[in-house]
Structure 1
Amino acid sequence: MIDVIIVEDDPMVAAINSEYLSRLEGFNLRGHFGTAKPCLDYLDRQEQTLVLLDVFMPGLDGLELLQHIRNTYTRVDVIMITADRSSNDIKKALRLGVIDYLMKPFTFERFQVALLSYQERRRLLESHAELDQSILDKRIFIREKPSYPKGVDADTLQNIQNSLSSRTESCSMKDLEQDIGLSRVSIKKYLVYLEEIGKVSSHLDYPAIGRPLRKYRWL
């Protein structure tokens, strides 16, 4: 299990990061901090941690905190999640050894790639096995983008997944149509794909009056 802390001063963004993290197995969210000091207090007690770090924060900003982490803690890894698009800041973060750099707003798929790639890296490097270049290239340094069927757009897919996963009960295509603003024909294509990859299940609902209605549920 990988311990994670979120260092983000915007509660809404922190909640999104936390919700995304909860969808991934093998990660344990240990805390959310809005400024640098409580983050450092935590790292003093629990050094081996993955930090999801924003740049723009009151007091010590994210890059200054990253520099302090690199100078002080040898077992902390950092993924930047920030609206900072400055090439100089990105260059500084990379030179300070960040694992990945996610620009807001980002999709769940991009977040998933970053976290699962890190998880695989940790698992591989803690295995004590002798490695060769092909293993490093295949499992750490070369990443493949998620591939989708023709006509499936990543952002639209994320919107439909968000709508489905936020519901406590199964819903119809009409419900999704009202929520997403797409035609049922378009939504159907995404639902078929999500069923194929095992993220959604469907069943026929038989009302007292009228025709059966197919409903969908996030798994």
Structure 2
Amino acid sequence: MIRAYSIGAASFLAVVLGVMGYLMYGGNSDDPFAPCRTTAMQGGLDAIGGPFELINAQGETVTDADVITQPSMVYFGYTFCPDVCPLDMARNALATEILEDEGHIVQPVFITIDPRRDTPEVVGEFASIFHDRAVGLTGSDEQVRAASRAYRTFYSAHQSDDDFYLVDHSTFTYLVMPGHGTVEVLRQDLTAEQVAQTAQCFIERA
């Protein structure tokens, strides 16, 4: 279940979910994605996402340009997560399958916010459980924090002397498209069918 958010994360949630996309984009004929928008944020979605440098399951250093080569659903979580992360990744994987049935190839991306435990091998195995195209990424503390800041996510590990600590974190999924960046923020309460329908709208207008 979603754990406590920081004040900053809660404020971001209110901005993202409190403003319906059509209020910002509905009258903008220059926006090809206007009919697809369901969320908006102050400053625009261009403020979310951007360059990152992380490590893939093979231990290779990769950038966002290496990873986001097709429409992607980017999710920040951790493999020891007892409930939310597996459910969200399963939802995203099912949405990926629904989209594939419609002829659209989408890539689930899992970025850990717990690099201490989530080695390249661990994140790779975790991602592959959900979908054969899913990409698992980790990195140094600095690399992971930089990626998290780029996407405006929140996470905070509980203080513990053992390896069984939990990590509070935000639970958005980001629909990211090559050449367009982050085009939508997908809430946790959306079903796989709703996620697929939203993603399809953007993909078909790209």
Asked whether the two chains share a fold, i.e. TM above 0.5, the reply is: no
Which of the pair is proportionally richer in helix?
A: 1
Q: Which has the higher contact order (CA 8 A, sep 6+)?
A: 2
* TM-score, normalization by structure 1: 0.27
* TM-score, normalization by structure 2: 0.28
